[in-house]
A and B are shown apart, each in its own frame.
Chain A
Amino acid sequence: MIETMTPTLTKMAVVPEMVVTPEETTRKLAFICSKGTLDMAYPALVMGWAALGNGIDVTIFFTFWGLDMINKARIDHLEIAPVANTSMKMTMMGVDTGNLGIPQIAGVLPGMTAFATKLMKDKMEKLQVPTVREYLQMLVDAGAKLYACKMSVDMMGLQKEDFVEGVQDIVTAADFMDMTDGAQIIFI
């Protein structure tokens, strides 16, 4: 039985395979940036940059407070507030107090938000992390497509001229759905 099968199998093996080469598909990532604080601006920038560096298509959609990240007047002034931020500890200010948080009452004092922001910016500068404006420009240069959410833009009374270079258009949520067909979506 085996002897009769073997020649058949050998014959099958020499028949050229019908190789169907699928068109090369590029992985696509889409970020939705909805926050305007300094700490929440970075995740999409860092991951978007890593994605572009791996040959992945990147689209970023800015909505609500996320518009601050592309607003010319706001991009250099994103801040981080110690109030209601349970992760912000005294140790970050150089006081060796373990898990002791920055007292909320201190957080509301004038200048505390500016102080916390400066601390974070200084730390990032030391690590040679680019500023939000520079990072965004790097992403645009690397081919990322940026869009602003129409409803938020209307709500905040902004126009396309208010945004940094590289923002391609102001689009609706439905447009976003169309342009991110097949993409992995990350909401921040």
Chain B
Amino acid sequence: MASRTIAGKQVQMNDEGFMTDPNEWNKEIAVEIAREEGIADLTLTHWKVIDFCRQDGLSSGKAPTLRRITTQAGISTKEMFTLFPKGPAKKVAKISGLGKPEGCV
């Protein structure tokens, strides 16, 4: 476990680059992590997914899987792979300040 300064704020992160305390998250941090993940601009649709993940993640205590995002947030699998290429659920979880999504589907 290490701490890092992102967007001027000190946050706790694990070895895989996931924040360990979702309460340390803010929107500036999301923008910064997204940039590191190769997403230069977060559009409204990106935010729709991030907002869903934040809500779902905070209420359930775990990051939603890709299947959960597509069935619950009304975003198709295709769209998810366009918005967050190469591993959408993991990427969006990182950007949303949540842990690594678990589950086989």
User: Chain A: which residue is nearest B68 at the CB level?
Assistant: A128
CB distance from A137 to the nearest CB of B (A): 8
Once the chains are docked, how many angstroms separate the CA of A130 from the CA of B88? Answer: 19
Of the candidate stretches A11-19, A88-96, A138-146, A155-163, the one touching chain B is A138-146
Of B70, B76, B85, B87, the most chain A CB neighbours within 10 A belong to: B87
- Assess whether A49 is in contact with B105, with CB atoms less than 8 Å apart: yes
User: Chain B: which residue is nearest A51 at the CB level?
Assistant: B87
Is residue B90 contacting chain A, with contact meaning CB distance below 8 A? yes
Chain A 110-131 residues near chain B, CB threshold 8 A: 128-130
CB distance from A24 to the nearest CB of B (A): 10
Q: Which residues of A contact B67 (CB under 8 A)?
A: 128, 130, 138
Once the chains are docked, how many angstroms separate the CA of A46 from the CA of B86? Answer: 17
Is residue B81 contacting chain A, with contact meaning CB distance below 8 A? yes
- Assess whether A54 is in contact with B77, with CB atoms less than 8 Å apart: no
CB distance from A138 to the nearest CB of B (A): 5
Is residue A55 contacting chain B, with contact meaning CB distance below 8 A? yes
Is residue A103 contacting chain B, with contact meaning CB distance below 8 A? no
Once the chains are docked, how many angstroms separate the CA of A138 from the CA of B68? Answer: 13
- Assess whether A46 is in contact with B78, with CB atoms less than 8 Å apart: no
Q: Which residues of A contact B81 (CB under 8 A)?
A: 52, 141-143
Once the chains are docked, how many angstroms separate the CA of A54 from the CA of B66? Answer: 11
CB distance from B86 to the nearest CB of A (A): 3
Is residue B19 contacting chain A, with contact meaning CB distance below 8 A? no
Is residue A50 contacting chain B, with contact meaning CB distance below 8 A? yes
Once the chains are docked, how many angstroms separate the CA of A138 from the CA of B81? Answer: 11
Q: Assuming the A-B contacts A128-B105, A130-B67, are A53 and B89 also in contact, with contact meaning beta carbons closer than 8 angstroms in the complex?
A: yes
Once the chains are docked, how many angstroms separate the CA of A128 from the CA of B87? Answer: 21
Q: Of A55, A128, A141, which one neighbours B86 at CB under 8 angstroms? A: A55
Once the chains are docked, how many angstroms separate the CA of A21 from the CA of B24? Answer: 34
CB distance from B103 to the nearest CB of A (A): 10
- Assess whether A53 is in contact with B66, with CB atoms less than 8 Å apart: yes
Once the chains are docked, how many angstroms separate the CA of A49 from the CA of B104? Answer: 8
Interface string of B63-105 (1 = CB under 8 A from A): 0001100100000111001000111111000000000000011
Interface residues of B (CB under 8 A from A): 66-67, 70, 76-78, 81, 85-90, 104-105
